[in-house]
Structure formats: structure tokens, C-alpha cells
Amino acid sequence: MGIIPRMLRWRRVLLGETETGISKFEIAEVESADGSAYIWGYDEVPTLPYYPDEPYKVRTALANPGGLRVFAAHFPPLSRLAEMRESSASREQAKLIAAQPSGVHWYEGVGFQGFHSHDSIDIDVVVSGTIALVASDGTREILTPGDVVVFCGSNHRWEVISEEPCSVVVTEVHAPRRRGEEPSGTMEDVRRRIAALANRSEAQPER
């Protein structure tokens, strides 16, 4: 059995509009890596009417300037956390984060359990399971289905606390920071840490 239950699948249902004014669906099963999935997004705001010319393909994990991302994040049971860290899907996600031109700041570690922030406004909806969200002042909030978290470029980390998997659907819009007020964790720091993680993972056979 994998890290996630087989029933956890994501489907994109996009209702666009053609040049002739007809609304029509573009529906696709979204490729899921260990339960997480990049559902839709853009790097430049579309002009209406809009209907996609080709299936959505993710190029970077998070929203770039002028961009938006919609994705599902999946957190495994506590007992399977180490397995997820060493999985090929986790390494692929790390590569997408390393491809970001800017806007990701990591202050310790690499991964959702380390303190990090993005240059974005994020709206996170918990759809299943339970997870803890920790702020940089040390306060901690337990999140359950129906909770909606709004991040304003804020430093945070996630803490897996349950044997029940947790899924969160995220809508992320890029937001600029005032010049001179960029956080200390730079993209170069992120890339160095991801490279170290990749080297460590490649040295270990995948389970």
C-alpha cells in the first residue's frame, strides 16, 4: 500500500468560454504525487473570454510575479512521514521549488516541517484530516476540515500530529514585498538545501 489511500484523487473541472461566447468544460484527472497535485494556474492573468489551448502543465511549484497556483497538498500519517521524505515524489516537488526564480524563503530545513514563507497571499482550505500550523512566535493552531487559513506572506511551518492523512487545497496569488524588507532565507539558501537533500536521498535506495 502506498503513502496515500487509493481513493484520494484530484480532478480539474474548468468551465471556460470560447471566442464565440460558448461556455464549455475542460475536465481532466490531475496527476497526483503521493496525494499532492498541481491542479491549475497561470503566470500571466488570462484575458477573457478564455478557454485553454492545451492541458495545464506546472513549471514552478509556487506563483511567480503576476501568477496564480491552485494545488492540493497532502500530509501523510505520522508513522509514514519518513517514507514520504525519501519518496521520488518528494524529490520531484523539491526540483519544482528549486526552479522558482524568487519568492521562496526557508529558515530551517527543507520541507513543510521547516519554517518557511512565500511572496504570496495563500488561501488554504482543509478538506480532510487534522494538522497543526505553527507561527514563528511559537503559537500553534490545530486545523480540521472546514478551516480556511489565509497566509499573508507569513513565516510558518506544518506539523503532522495524527495517524489520519490530511489534505489541504491551496489557492496562491503572488504578492510583492517592499524593497529592502525581504526575509533572510534566500533562494540560494533553498537551492543549496534542496541539493543536499537530493544527494542524501540518492545515496539511499528507495523503499
Look up the pTM and report it. 0.77
User: What's 79's DSSP letter?
Assistant: G
- Give the whole-angstrom CA distance, residue 45 versus residue 48: 10
Instruction: Give the H or E element holding residue 17.
Output: strand 10-17
List all residues 6 or more positions away from 80 whose beta carbon is below 8 Å from its beta carbon. Answer: 3
φ and ψ of 99, to 5 deg: -75, -10
- The pLDDT tens digits along the chain (207 residues) read 344 444 468 999 999 999 999 999 999 999 876 678 999 999 999 999 999 999 898 888 788 899 999 999 988 888 877 665 554 445 566 666 655 555 677 666 555 667 888 899 999 999 999 999 999 888 999 999 999 999 999 989 899 999 999 999 999 999 988 876 555 555 555 556 555 555 554 555 544
Tell how far CA 56 is from the center of its chain.
16
Residue whose cell numbers read 500553534: 140
All domains in the chain, ordered by first residue: 10-179 (2.60.120.10)
